[in-house]
Structure 1
């Protein structure tokens, strides 16, 4: 009787979801200039999202936020619920975090898992540092190479396609980001339209010709709260002052939208809502909206169709959304809608 009961318990344990061999996260192989420094581990018991880390010679020494490891880049992947139970291949979206955020923050995990539930979509969140600005820096100085664009587009993307069951084609790849990541998503899509079929910005600073955006970016470079060590204000795009500001002008996503022709394009922004409540986040969102308006105007001038959710104080966009810059309820609604666009359900 006791032996029969023990056998039954063992069978139940081995057949439970947590005991299945296919419940382990994928084992990743080095390649494309990336060395895996930490193999994947599930972030929680739901076993949809795992985190791993890599090193790269393109950004060997990123500036660090508290808790980040020198020379190691965390990458977070959220899988479809049935990834371990089928041999299907899946479309992929790349989600670029904002400043001074990180890919392994819990709110990013929540947003992605809620938005992609039941969709069959893989989401990859690469490290962009507190101040990487998703660009190959022109004056990195003592920081050493900071080639974030090369790292992400020429290393992370083929690495993911080689190690996971992805649909490795432009038609099945999207890119989106929040704040600094919204800039990065448009920046990458404009530089490599052959890689992406959809691009989205959640409150991105898209206009590098805007003096307020320039001030915000240069502040992140010299502010220790954005990561240590700090760097010079001209590190990413060179001098922001005329007549030495050619890189800023040339790399402005709002002014290169012609390269997005044939892509699904989406913009999302609030207006900051009540400016007396959380005024810093309110002003950041209000200014980001101005860059979205410039981008929208240039898209219209180019005859390029796009979606624009300009949701004001957020009251009509989602419950709890206040129209501010890093409002999780707003970003959740943004991501929910973008995922529907990518998967053809909008």
Structure 2
């Protein structure tokens, strides 16, 4: 009996479930980034890890509750097949406002959508109000060069530290809300980096007065991060004739630069505007910017996919077509990942 128990103990101890979990990859400093905390798994599934870096491009980001001064969290979700024998395509997922890459709901959306694929997903910090841009008037906030941080530092840093397929064809960028703006903005500025781009309910038309009001509100609202900044910090004055940067940086009006990419737009219409009216109106207005973007893509004879899913009833269970609704964003991400994997 003792020998039998000992044998059973040996079998259990040597089983895969009983083995110590493999640690996540370690990262080395480089490309202007200093690793301030090494990767750690966020849970027992051992697919997603978080680490942090510092950068002189954004040394003092405004902070949401729980964020640390000068440290940028970056979240990475690996495929189940990640090992030292293969390389993988990468998608960069840009969070919205006021959100953060290490929010649990972002992890859920990414892990569900990428399960069973060979896709690496990287979620960099964009601050509560970074707007994925190099700010023109940061003032006392100090340098806020988010675009340089992400495109010139994070991307080569990830390629150097993970087993990625570091080619344009195997690199995608997508985002939600503020991140949807950022995804098209980045892809238009650096079409050499991305073969695929997607926007989930992004505010894509900076020439739209409602979008300008929404952006400037995020800059002066303490709920978007502390300290607050001036309303002209990111794109300068939003008022004519001093609004040249807003006009020039509008993703809806620079679509020619996306030619040759796989492009996908997703939006609801807010559904019943009397239910959760703030999120309903935000989505309804974001849809208007998607329609402008789609019209400009058509005028330029650029192919794209457009999921204009209205009140969400035919898009996904639990989706009612409102802004930042997890069921809607999940369905958006599922579809976008499907486009990527079919391309591969």
Q: Smaller-chain TM-score range?
A: over 0.9
1:12 deviation in Å?
A: 3.3
Alignment check: 8 A CA contact 2:12 2:18 kept:
no
8 Å contact from structure 1 (residues 14, 20) kept in 2: no
2:135 maps to 137
Q: Deviations over 1:185-234 (max 9, x none)?
A: 00000000000000000000000000000000000000000000000000
Correspondence for 1:311 among 309, 312, 316? 309
Match of 1:19 in 2: 19
Counterparts of 1:139 and 1:257 in 2: how far apart (Å)? 26
Q: Distance in 1 between matches of 2:161 and 2:98?
A: 29
Q: Deviations over 1:68-121 (max 9, x none)?
A: 00000000000001214x511000000000000100001100000000000100
Report the number of matched residues: 344
Match of 1:170 in 2: 168
> Does the 8 Å contact 1:220/1:226 carry over to 2?
yes
Question: Counterpart of 1:214?
Answer: 212
Deviations 1:37-60 (A, max 9, x none): 010111111110000000000000
**Which of residues 324, 327, 333 in structure 1 aligns to 2:325?**
327
Trace 1:234-249 onto structure 2 (pairs within 5 A): 234-249=232-247
User: 2 CA distance for matches of 1:187 and 1:139?
Assistant: 19
Q: For 1:269-311, what per-residue CA distance to the aligned partner results, in whole angstroms no more than 9, with x for missing partners? A: 0000000000000000000000000000000011000000000
Residues 244-291 of structure 1 deviation map (CA, whole Å, 9 limit, x = unaligned): 000000000000000000000000000000000000000000000000
Partners of 2:146 and 2:247 in 1: how far apart? Answer: 19
- Tell me, yes or no, if the aligned pair for 2:316 and 2:327 is still in contact at 8 Å: yes
Does structure 1 retain, via aligned residues, the 8 Å contact 2:315–2:328? yes
CA distance in 2, matches of 1:167, 1:307: 24
Are 1:291 and 2:273 an aligned pair? no
Once the two structures are superposed, what CA deviation does each residue of 1:144-169 show, in whole Å capped at 9, x if it has no partner?
A: 00000000000000000000000000
Does the CA contact (< 8 Å) of 1:270 and 1:314 recur in 2?
yes
2:181 to 163, 178, 183: 183
Question: Could you say which residue in structure 2 is the equivalent of 1:42?
Answer: 41
In structure 1, distance between residues paired with 2:210 and 2:18: 50
* Rounded Cα–Cα distance in structure 2 between residues aligned with 1:2 and 1:83: 40
Task: Return the alpha-carbon distance in structure 1 between the equivalents of residues 254 and 297 of structure 2.
Answer: 9
Structure 2 alignment gaps of length 5 or more: none
Give structure 1 regions of 4+ aligned residues with deviation exceeding 6 angstroms: none
1:98 counterpart residue number:
96
Distance 2:319 2:106 in 1: 16
Q: Aligned partners of 1:2, 1:204: CA distance in 2, in Å? A: 65
Q: Secondary structure of 1:276's match? A: coil
> What is the Cα deviation at residue 10 of structure 1?
4.8
The alignment partner of 2:92 has SS state of strand
**Match of residue 80 from structure 2:** 81
- Superposed CA offset, 1:127-160 (max 9, x none): 0000000000000000000000000000000000
Secondary structure of the residue aligned to 2:181 is helix
Deviation at 1:5, TM superposition (A): 4.1
Mapped partners of 2:222, 2:101: distance in 1: 19
TM-score by length of 2: 0.97
With the length of structure 1 as denominator, give the TM-score of the two structures.
Answer: 0.97
CA, structure 1 residues 117+345, in 2 after alignment: closer, same or farther (shift >3 Å)?
farther
Match of 2:31 in 1: 32
Aligned partners of 2:3 and 2:70: how far apart in 1? 52
